Chains A and B, each alone.
Chain A
């Protein structure tokens, strides 16, 4: 049981506040529109807080998007100080012919602070994390310094998640957790980002801490995207090596804003793993397609396809989930996602896999 809980934590816990890439529908093509970090997630800047009220939330009052719902006036410090924090939890349900289980999981409580200057930024997240059942302890897995020598150029170093793939909060998705971009995967990273009006280039070099991998793991990522109107697409590449194997990921990503109400996110990655000791390569696939339609301001219905196969030559490694969901931002500081999918695996009959994620941000 403990292992199952740990697995759920690994799949669902969202150590970062993740970005909302669906903003492509409104022409926001770069994460830095709303977030301090070029990769999105985490601290919101003043503009992001404003958009959380103006564009994202169903209801709001005048200063509600501010820190602590506007109870404290941060207007005088907004230009240099960013404050944030997260409380997040998930309810998970899985049911098929082999298993029926469900549980509420507390995942995250934390506080984040950033000092923002025109040419540099430092930020750190400090909080409490549930890594196993009912055990909480302080931690700071994300901290970084960032230099911005010119507009659009960001040089960032510290411990954080290297930029790779679409930064969605659902770590269960085949393109997040299974590719090791899920919970607790922050690495010691140096990253250079050029986030221009049309072209984005992001290059990362990382070394994985020993608490994640004790095998001297390090890697590089490269992402290049191009934006035309409200459509952003591109290619990404990862090369990683440790004492036991090398891993490469080659993928394509797309953020497609068909209209102000309707958007699609897709990511397709091929993973090739080569054992250092020799032997055949293993090829895997991760594919997601997530289309969302905003029924009314802040309320989205979502259709999800999520395919994962760790070894294309072994059908037993397949896992496919598909189904509807909703995402709702009722007021600034609150969001929830709920999905009810059908799950196909080779080891059980088709069953249900559902999850609800509740998130409060400071």
Chain B
């Protein structure tokens, strides 16, 4: 009887545990990584300056960091160097970086994915660009808030390229609404992060 029970337990273990170790799903559990280099991408932001409805556009380097993925689940953080941002007006840049963003204290803005389940696994991406929604945490000036937006992405051999667009409410991150020479920016700031990463 003991043998029968032992055999049953052994069989059950093999029967249920066995398939989980099968090669078909083993690759889905493998953790892969994508490395992003700042110089290969670009960050753009746009805001409206009131009351004159000025369009304030700025840009900087792309994101840098490593994102990992297991199948369609993405994790990791990429950072954008805020010191490299420019609106092409020196004095305005000085105000933006030193008075409001305090880049000496908070040198980067971070986009963090925590087990974000994307609509398509990275391995299944092709050289045809697809668009997918995403959610992440955005950290700036020492404060972190969830953001959501749209990502356009494609893969060509070992290179992943695309862009992520989302909006932030600037007062969720800063104490005062940035102003310069009588122009105050509207609360909503649009961000577009163009990225290029390499599969590792």
Binds B, one of A42-50, A244-252, A332-340: A42-50
Contact of A47 among B52, B53, B55 (CB under 8 A): B52
B90 at the interface (CB under 8 A from A): yes
Q: Is the CB of B55 within 8 A of A197?
A: yes
- B89 contacts chain A at the CB level, 8 A cutoff: yes
Q: In the bound complex, how far is the Cα of B161 from the Cα of A106, in angstroms?
A: 60
Known A45-B182, A46-B181, A46-B182: A30·B89 in contact at CB below 8 Å: no
Q: Is the CB of A50 within 8 A of B181?
A: yes
Q: Which of B89, B181, B183 has the most CB of A within 10 A?
A: B181
Residues of B150-199 whose CB lies within 8 A of A: 180-183
A148-B53 Cα distance, complex, nearest whole Å: 13
Q: In angstroms, how far is the closest chain B Cβ from the Cβ of A128? A: 30
> Is A196 in contact with B53, judged by CB distance below 8 angstroms?
yes
The interface on chain A, measured as residues whose beta carbon lies within 8 A of the other chain's beta carbons, has a size of 24
B51 touches A152 (CB 8 A): yes
Indicate with 1 or 0, residue by residue over A56-90, a CB within 8 angstroms of chain B CB atoms: 00000000000000000000001100000000000
Interface-centre pick from A29, A49, A54, A55 (highest chain B CB count, 10 A): A54
Within the complex, the shortest CB–CB distance from A50 to chain B, in Å, comes to: 5
Q: Bin chain B's interface residue count.
A: 10 to 19
Q: Are the CB atoms of B89 and A55 closer together than 8 Å?
A: yes
A46 to B180, CA, bound (A): 9
Question: Of B48, B49, B50, B90, which one neighbours A54 at CB under 8 angstroms?
Answer: B90
CB of B54 closer than 8 Å to a CB of A: yes
Q: Is B84 an interface residue (CB 8 A)?
A: no
CA distance A49 to B91 in the complex (A): 12
Task: Give Cα A151 to B186, complex, Å.
Answer: 11
Residue of A nearest to B52 (CB): A32
With an 8 A cutoff between CB atoms, is B57 at the interface?
Answer: yes
Assembly CA distance A195 to B182 (angstroms): 17
Also in contact, A30 and B54, with CB within 8 A (given A51-B89, A54-B92): yes
Shortest Cβ distance from B50 into A: residue: A151
**In the bound complex, what is the Cα–Cα distance between A47 and B180 (angstroms)?**
7
* Interface residue A360 (Cβ < 8 Å from any Cβ of B): no
Residue of A nearest to B184 (CB): A151
Pick from A45, A46, A78, A151 the residue with the most CB of B within 10 Å: A151
Residues of B within 8 A of A78 (CB): 181-182
Closest to B93 in A: A54
Assess the B182–A152 pair: CB atoms within 8 A.
Answer: no
Interface residues of B (CB under 8 A from A): 48-55, 57, 88-92, 180-183
- CB pairs A–B below 8 angstroms (16 shown): A27-B55, A29-B55, A33-B49, A33-B183, A45-B182, A47-B52, A47-B183, A54-B90, A55-B89, A78-B182, A79-B182, A151-B50, A151-B51, A151-B53, A152-B51, A195-B53
